[in-house]
Chains A and B, each alone.
Chain A
Amino acid sequence: MKKDVLIYYDLITSLKTTLEVEGFISEIDTLMLTFFNNKGKTIKDALCLISNDYAEKITQIFAKNSLDINNKDTFTDFLKILKDLIQKLKVIKLILAFDPSKKTTEKLHSFVKETIGIGYILDIEVSQDVLAGAIVVFDGKYKDFSLRKKIEEAFKTKMDLGL
């Protein structure tokens, strides 16, 4: 099994949010459990059990890197390494006032990728309390860029001035 992490690049960069990561990890677990419970099952049969999108991506990676998709050992090792790498992704928590569309999420993720690089996923929480803007929590740091805070600060300044 090739241990070059670059072969996982496409798959990993396609994951943008914690929801996607959770979904993909459960698909990996399904594949691994299938081999464990039913040793006679072929890989193609197993790939039918997961979503078409992920099954296609996995098949493409094997084809692109000239790996034998019918070799169960190679396939299991591939899944294990993939799962480890996914679990190491760092989470950026965003608290937004609205539920972002897929397009907005993609935009946000590509901004993160361009600014700080790959290996980051977004954990988006919707809270209408923030009114607008966002609260960013990353690596123990907490930054409040919300409209609510701006309004609170404005009120506080006015109260301090006795207006």
Chain B
Amino acid sequence: MKNFKFYLDLTSEIGFVEESANSIVYVSGLPKVKTNEVVIFETGIMGIALSFTSDIVEILVFSKDPMSHGTKVVRTDECLKIPVGKELLGRIVDPLGNPLTAIDSCKKPITTREIDSLASGIVSRKTITRPFETGVPIVDLIMPLGYGQRELIIGDRKTGKTTFIMQALLTQAKQKHICVYAAIGKRRLDIKDAEGFFKKNGISDQIVTVATGFDDPIGMSFLVPFSAMTICEYFRDEGYDVLLILDDLTTHAKFYREISLLGKRFPGRNSYPGDMFYTHAKLLERAGNFNTPKGEKAITCLPIVETIQGDLSGYIQTNIMSMTDGHLYFDSDLFAKGRRPAVNPFLSVTRVGRQTQSTLKRDINREILSFLTISEKMQNFSHFGAELTESSKITLQIGEKVIKFLDQGPSVSMPINLQILLFSVFWKNVSQNRYIESSENEIKKMIETYKTNLSVQKMIDQIIMETKTFNNMLGLVEKQGEQLLSKLKS
């Protein structure tokens, strides 16, 4: 961006600050200003025009510096643009593309892109057909996702949402997909922790972090998801599949509510503005599976929403549920019981994920879900203190084992084919009334072998690709299971 004087000469229009309320400033003058146009104050501070009347322009400023009455403002005749490019990979930037860490002194991308662009039309969209791997068995096997899906991550605070998100990021980044992590109004320590996680796992060069702290100007925090989506669109057009994490949209809604109330807009439900739904829908509509000149590319979006005491019926929660293609519910009760991740499969939904699954995966999905339903029902029934039959006791025991199998520690990412194989082996053992529990170290070892030993990986992948049904898979495991496991453990 050029300076104040340049734009003053260019547009020959000027405004003067009349009133200031936190991040909202009211300015007189600027007769030809447009909404979303960038304005520059004589102090160098930037802002965007939110709305205007015949004599006053409402401006959202991106600074916390106090604004004095009479300060001069000029319009720029430009919409808000951010620098985008591969230079952003591995960096933490603010929503205007400025680096947040001191070491980020490397060059800024030259290409710029408008932050507030329209979502692609129906013609450029494609049905979601490719399975998306998170590396978490309970999600990949029970609540599968697809590339381009918008899946809401919902739950109380401290229920393991961020841990799951990090696992998904790890899995995707390891597969050389681009990931964009949008941290909206987070504690700086949390942003630093995320950066540490990316560096520790060697994936930081695949990730762009767009972040604001909780003490940053509200205007900046409001821009974070839009800015992150713009970066995603750039990488999509460059021919990458992109994963976007929006952490979190409840905080974003609160920032937008603050802006609207300061802007004297009429408050609606829970004091949120009337266009709250529109704002989030406009954002999430930009994700999806697209037909681009570089082939089928997707922006998979995982927005996070926080609930209070498990209440799923909140305003923002229900809004975003209706915009997304399903949700993963992180249950605080399950978390307290020690389930990791604490995804409640009965309260979670995936609307398009199952259509991406092969027949084998769909078979497994059905098998686990139907078994878990029975087991859950029996568990509820057993609470009444009724005497259980032997078969019911067995079902409950197996249910517990299935749940234990689905448990996974943090920073572990299990490839989907390995998940299928291990589950098949586990199921076969269970059906034969045998249960050999694998320790976390053993599982880590197997994952490592699968990832590093290409011949073993190829063999497992081949078996899973050729097997059509779960019954066939169980038959195969009967014959070769032990051999495969020993190879994985070696």
- Give the interface of A toward B (CB within 8 A): 137, 139-144
Would you call B15 and A140 a contact (CB within 8 A)?
yes
Among the stretches B5-13, B179-187, B395-403, B425-433, the one at the interface with A is B5-13
CB distance from B258 to the nearest CB of A (A): 28
Contacts of B30 in A (CB 8 A): 140
Count of chain B residues near A, Cβ 8 A = 10
Distance A80 CA – B242 CA, assembled complex (angstroms)? 66
Would you call A139 and B31 a contact (CB within 8 A)?
yes
CB distance from B398 to the nearest CB of A (A): 75
| B28 proximal to A (CB < 8 A) | yes
CB distance from B249 to the nearest CB of A (A): 37
**By DSSP majority rule, is chain A's interface helix, strand, loop, or mixed?**
strand
Contacts A140-B28, A140-B31, A141-B14 supplied; 17 other A-B pairs, CB < 8 Å: A137-B14, A139-B29, A139-B31, A140-B13, A140-B14, A140-B15, A140-B29, A140-B30, A141-B12, A141-B13, A141-B31, A142-B8, A142-B12, A142-B13, A142-B14, A143-B12, A144-B9
**By DSSP majority rule, is chain B's interface helix, strand, loop, or mixed?**
mixed
Contacts of A140 in B (CB 8 A): 13-15, 28-31
Distance A141 CA – B9 CA, assembled complex (angstroms)? 11
Distance A134 CA – B303 CA, assembled complex (angstroms)? 55
CB distance from B391 to the nearest CB of A (A): 82
CB distance from A8 to the nearest CB of B (A): 23
CB distance from B73 to the nearest CB of A (A): 10
Contacts of B12 in A (CB 8 A): 141-143
A/B interface sample: 5 pairs, CB < 8 A:
A140-B13, A140-B28, A140-B31, A141-B12, A142-B8
Distance A73 CA – B277 CA, assembled complex (angstroms)? 55
Contacts of B14 in A (CB 8 A): 137, 140-142
A-B pairs under 8 A by CB, number: 20
Name, among A137, A139, A142, A143, the residue most crowded by chain B CB atoms within 10 Å (CB to CB): A142
| Smallest Cβ-Cβ distance to A142: which chain B residue | B14
CB distance from B490 to the nearest CB of A (A): 73
Distance A139 CA – B13 CA, assembled complex (angstroms)? 9
Distance A144 CA – B28 CA, assembled complex (angstroms)? 19
CB distance from A90 to the nearest CB of B (A): 11
| Smallest Cβ-Cβ distance to B13: which chain A residue | A140
CB distance from B245 to the nearest CB of A (A): 42
Query: Which 5 pairs from chain A and chain B are nearest by CB?
Result: A140-B29, A142-B14, A140-B31, A142-B12, A140-B30
Contacts of B31 in A (CB 8 A): 139-141
| Smallest Cβ-Cβ distance to B9: which chain A residue | A144
| Smallest Cβ-Cβ distance to A153: which chain B residue | B9
Contacts of A143 in B (CB 8 A): 12
Digitize B109-146: 1 where CB-to-A-CB distance is under 8 Å, 0 elsewhere.
00000000000000000000000000000000000000
B1-53 residues with Cβ-Cβ distance < 8 A to A are: 8-9, 12-15, 28-31
Distance A137 CA – B28 CA, assembled complex (angstroms)? 12
Distance A140 CA – B14 CA, assembled complex (angstroms)? 5
Contacts of B8 in A (CB 8 A): 142
Contacts of A142 in B (CB 8 A): 8, 12-14
Contacts of A144 in B (CB 8 A): 9
Contacts of B28 in A (CB 8 A): 140
Distance A141 CA – B32 CA, assembled complex (angstroms)? 10
Distance A152 CA – B9 CA, assembled complex (angstroms)? 12
Contacts of A139 in B (CB 8 A): 29, 31
| Smallest Cβ-Cβ distance to B75: which chain A residue | A140
CB distance from A92 to the nearest CB of B (A): 13
CB distance from A18 to the nearest CB of B (A): 13
CB distance from A146 to the nearest CB of B (A): 12
Distance A140 CA – B72 CA, assembled complex (angstroms)? 10
Distance A141 CA – B16 CA, assembled complex (angstroms)? 11
| Smallest Cβ-Cβ distance to B30: which chain A residue | A140
Distance A37 CA – B15 CA, assembled complex (angstroms)? 40
Name, among A140, A141, A143, the residue most crowded by chain B CB atoms within 10 Å (CB to CB): A140
| Smallest Cβ-Cβ distance to B14: which chain A residue | A142
Digitize B46-75: 1 where CB-to-A-CB distance is under 8 Å, 0 elsewhere.
000000000000000000000000000000
Distance A140 CA – B73 CA, assembled complex (angstroms)? 10
Name, among B8, B14, B28, B31, the residue most crowded by chain A CB atoms within 10 Å (CB to CB): B14
| Smallest Cβ-Cβ distance to A144: which chain B residue | B9
B51-110 residues with Cβ-Cβ distance < 8 A to A are: none
CB distance from A113 to the nearest CB of B (A): 23
CB distance from A96 to the nearest CB of B (A): 17
Distance A81 CA – B217 CA, assembled complex (angstroms)? 43
Distance A140 CA – B28 CA, assembled complex (angstroms)? 7
CB distance from B6 to the nearest CB of A (A): 12
Distance A120 CA – B12 CA, assembled complex (angstroms)? 21
Distance A142 CA – B13 CA, assembled complex (angstroms)? 5
Distance A140 CA – B29 CA, assembled complex (angstroms)? 4
CB distance from A158 to the nearest CB of B (A): 18
Contacts of B29 in A (CB 8 A): 139-140
Digitize B448-462: 1 where CB-to-A-CB distance is under 8 Å, 0 elsewhere.
000000000000000
CB distance from A93 to the nearest CB of B (A): 9
Contacts of B9 in A (CB 8 A): 144
Contacts of B13 in A (CB 8 A): 140-142
Contacts of B15 in A (CB 8 A): 140
Distance A143 CA – B8 CA, assembled complex (angstroms)? 9
CB distance from A120 to the nearest CB of B (A): 16
Contacts of A141 in B (CB 8 A): 12-14, 31
| Smallest Cβ-Cβ distance to A152: which chain B residue | B9
Distance A41 CA – B13 CA, assembled complex (angstroms)? 50
B183-235 residues with Cβ-Cβ distance < 8 A to A are: none
Distance A141 CA – B30 CA, assembled complex (angstroms)? 7
